[in-house]
């Protein structure tokens, strides 16, 4: 490879790498669809590609959404704010058909430094224009409500002036989302509103002075300060709304005064229903009125179809000046989007969009309560899960009182969580639903506790019945041992058996004890008598054939005959077992068989084996040992005599 070829190859590789790098850096510099219409053009559908872009954004976000009628210049205005051309930015059309479908996100966030020194990401969002043909009205309402809920700065793009229809459409979106904006306490709500209205002119005045005012800026509290006067954190804090009037050429009142007049209540001295409806619309916009700013943009060029082809050098200087003022205003209003008192980042905003779209699609005709109900329904589920976690923290079975105590504590915690995190004030139905869900879970927990208690008590009861049955068959019957074993088992039963099944199983165990004790007492004396008869027979055989003791054998015969004849001499209800000597015999038997020192039922067999071995030793091995000892002694005496004789003979020889 020649030097020229190597140089050419190196240049080509560098060019390719630069192109690849530039492609990666510019991959985000185009719009992404985050919400698109369904086929019927009445409901919304989230787009995972756009949500993935959102989830990749780190740090807090400040969504800036533009809404308004179709063909009002929304997309062109957004491109102007971003400083990109029509071929790179949001699509701009010049036909009578709407260009933008659904909701689109500019993929490259713009970092903005806040007054506190922190940085937030400005996100530009374009929306489909409403009032175009071929769409259901509810579709526009859903787009409008979604934009109002997800944006921190909402730009209401209107041609030429503010109309009553614009207020009506905005009123519906606010009604749909106002339960997210309002504090939970109606009294606190009024305080918050008054505080918000009273603080008008703080942040926006600064933005207006930056932008240069023509009297068309109406101050309002920043989204981050909404409700600050009441000391409450709103569920979703309302952002700023910029009323952007395109082609602002009308003379007379300033835009600020026009906006103020448009949002003022209309006098209705005769209680006219139509005017009452207009005032209801204005009453629903009090949050918007507290955070509103009016800005006008003159027409940039007479030939509106060529705006994308023309540059700033062809635009009207007044338009350029106002555009820069609008940019400064948007940057001045930039604050992180706050939900539940926490600023949202990209993933959290994607989740919010998903939930809002699901809530908006939940009903065929969305109402102000449908979306709130969707969020609160999820909260009800979360509170129910929190209740379940708390009651499942204790191991079953437990006493009913303990279960009720845990239920009361978990129910109070779930209710407190619901009251703390709920949206809106009309939640009596959801509160009742939470109570019903908790009651259902409590009933299920009670059933589980009953089942667990029954299982444990049944097992403990069966163990005690086995003890009773085993003790009833003991080889050496003892009423003391029988009662002691049952009391020990009964104590173990009371320790193991807890919960609602305890009374039932305790009653069954008591009945089993009464039954087995009666049977044991009935057989006890008969078994003792049979045992004495058996002992007398064994003594007869032992003292006749094993150890010949005539007196003991005679005593065995006398005892055998007595035990066979005497019990039969009693007639009627009289019994030998009631005699004092028998009762004394029973007490002696009990003292011998079962006492604190030993239990013959357990040690009797070893003692019998030892006694048998002792008897065999005495009868067979002792004589043999004695004979062996005598032989050894005899051999020792003979040897001694021999040694003595040998010594005598030696003396004689000497």
How far is it, in rounded angstroms, from Cα 561 to Cα 533? Answer: 9
- Those residues with Cβ within 8 angstroms of residue 412's Cβ, 6 or more apart along the chain or in another chain: none
The tens digit of pLDDT for each residue in 555-579 reads: 889 988 988 888 888 877 788 888 8
For residue 373, the SS3 value is helix
Distance of alpha carbon 515 from alpha carbon 238, whole angstroms: 77
Whole-angstrom Cα distance, residue 515 to residue 511? 6
Residues 6+ apart with CB under 8 A from 478: 589, 590, 593, 594, 601
Q: Among the residues of 473-578, which ranges form H helices? A: 479-496, 502-541, 550-565
Handedness of CA 515, 519, 522, 528 (dihedral sign): negative
Contacts of 538 (CB under 8 A, 6+ apart): none
pLDDT at 253: 67
Higher pLDDT, residue 27 or 40: 40
The pLDDT tens digits for 127-139 are 887 766 556 667 7
pLDDT of residue 383: 92
CA atoms of 521 and 524, how far apart (whole Å): 5
What structural domains and CATH numbers belong to the chain? 31-366 (3.40.50.300), 376-458 (no CATH), 464-569 (no CATH)
Helix H or strand E segment including 274: helix 273-283
Report pLDDT for 137: 62
- What does pLDDT average to over the chain? 75
Structure confidence by residue, pLDDT tens digits, 446-503: 999 999 999 999 999 898 888 888 888 777 788 888 888 888 988 999 888 998 999 9
pLDDT at 653: 55
Judge whether 414 and 383 are in contact, CB under 8 Å.
Answer: yes
Side-chain-side CA neighbours of 208 within 13 Å: the count stands at 23
pLDDT at site 227: 41
Say how far apart CA 158 and CA 83 lie, in whole Å: 21
Residue with tokens 């008591």: 510
- Would you say residue 30 has pLDDT above 50? yes
Lowest mean pLDDT of 164-173, 178-187, 457-466, 638-647, name the range: 178-187
Question: What pLDDT shows up at residue 433?
Answer: 87
Q: What is the pLDDT of residue 2?
A: 52
- The pLDDT of 405-417, averaged and rounded, is 93
pLDDT 10s digits, 308-361: 667 677 777 888 888 888 888 889 989 999 887 789 999 999 998 888 888 777
CA distance readout (Å), 123 to 31, 112, 151, 382: 11, 10, 9, 31
Q: Return the biggest CA–CA distance within the chain.
A: 176
Q: Which helix (H) or strand (E) holds 433?
A: helix 428-472
Element of type H or E holding 342: strand 342-343
Q: Return the pLDDT at 22.
A: 44
């Amino acid at each position: 490879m020649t030097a020229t070829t190597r140089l050419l190859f190196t240049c080509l590789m560098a060019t390719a790498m630069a192109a690849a790098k530039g492609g990666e850096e510019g991959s985000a510099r185009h719009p992404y669809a985050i919400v698109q219409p369904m086929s019927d053009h009445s409901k919304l559908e989230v787009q995972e590609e756009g949500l993935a872009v959102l989830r990749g954004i780190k740090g807090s976000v400040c969504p800036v959404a533009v809404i308004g009628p179709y063909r009002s210049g929304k997309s062109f205005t957004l491109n102007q704010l971003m400083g990109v051309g029509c071929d790179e930015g949001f699509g701009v059309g010049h036909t009578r058909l709407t260009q933008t479908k659904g909701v689109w996100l500019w993929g490259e966030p713009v970092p903005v430094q806040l007054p506190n020194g922190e940085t937030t990401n400005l996100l530009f969002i374009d929306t489909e224009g409403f009032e175009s043909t071929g769409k259901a009205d509810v579709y526009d309402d859903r787009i409008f409500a979604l934009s109002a809920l997800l944006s921190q700065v909402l730009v209401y793009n209107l041609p030429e002036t503010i109309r009553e229809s614009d207020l009506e459409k905005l009123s519906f979106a606010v009604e749909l989302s106002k339960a997210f904006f309002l504090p939970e306490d109606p009294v606190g709500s009024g305080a918050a509103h008054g505080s918000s209205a009273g603080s008008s002119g703080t942040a926006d005045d600064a933005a207006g002075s930056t932008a240069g005012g023509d009297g068309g800026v109406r101050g309002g509290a920043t989204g981050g300060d909404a409700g600050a006067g009441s000391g409450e954190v709103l569920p979703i804090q309302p952002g700023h709304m910029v009323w952007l009037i395109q082609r602002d050429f009308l003379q007379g009142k300033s835009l600020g005064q026009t906006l103020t007049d448009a949002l003022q209540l209309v006098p209705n001295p005769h209680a006219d229903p139509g005017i009452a409806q207009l005032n209801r619309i204005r009453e629903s916009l009090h949050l918007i009125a507290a955070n509103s700013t009016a800005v006008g943009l003159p027409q940039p060029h007479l030939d509106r179809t060529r705006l994308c082809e023309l540059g700033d050098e062809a635009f009207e200087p007044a338009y350029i000046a106002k555009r820069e003022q609008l940019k400064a205003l948007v940057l001045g209003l930039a604050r992180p989007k706050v939900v539940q008192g926490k600023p949202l980042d990209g993933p959290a905003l994607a989740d919010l969009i998903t939930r809002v779209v699901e809530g908006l699609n939940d009903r065929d005709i969305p109402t102000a309560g449908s979306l709130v109900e969707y969020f609160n329904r999820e909260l009800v589920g979360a509170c129910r899960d929190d209740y379940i976690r708390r009651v499942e923290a204790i191991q079953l079975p437990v006493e009913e009182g303990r279960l009720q105590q845990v239920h009361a504590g978990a129910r109070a915690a779930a209710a407190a969580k619901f009251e703390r995190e709920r949206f809106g004030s009309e939640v009596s139905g959801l509160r009742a639903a939470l109570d019903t869900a908790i009651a259902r879970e409590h009933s299920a927990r009670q059933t589980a506790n009953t089942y667990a208690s029954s299982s444990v008590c049944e097992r403990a009861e069966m163990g005690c019945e086995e003890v009773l049955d085993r003790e009833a068959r003991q080889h050496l019957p003892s009423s003391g041992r029988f009662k002691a074993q049952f009391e020990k088992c009964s104590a173990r039963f009371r320790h193991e058996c807890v919960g609602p099944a305890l009374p039932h199983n305790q009653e069954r165990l008591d009945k089993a004890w009464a039954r087995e004790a009666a049977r044991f007492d009935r057989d006890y004396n008969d078994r003792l008598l049979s045992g004495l008869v058996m002992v007398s027979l064994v003594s007869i055989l032992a003292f006749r054939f094993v150890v010949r003791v005539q007196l003991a054998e005679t005593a065995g015969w006398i005892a055998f005959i007595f035990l066979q004849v005497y019990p039969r001499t009693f007639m009627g209800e009289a019994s030998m077992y009631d005699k004092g000597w028998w009762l004394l015999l029973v007490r002696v038997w009990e003292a011998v068989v079962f006492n604190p020192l030993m239990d013959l039922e357990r040690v009797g067999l070893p003692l019998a084996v030892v006694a048998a071995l002792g008897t065999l030793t005495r009868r067979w091995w002792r004589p043999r040992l004695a004979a062996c000892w005598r032989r050894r002694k005899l051999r020792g005496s003979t040897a001694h005599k021999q040694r003595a004789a040998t010594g005598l003979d030696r003396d004689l020889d000497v």
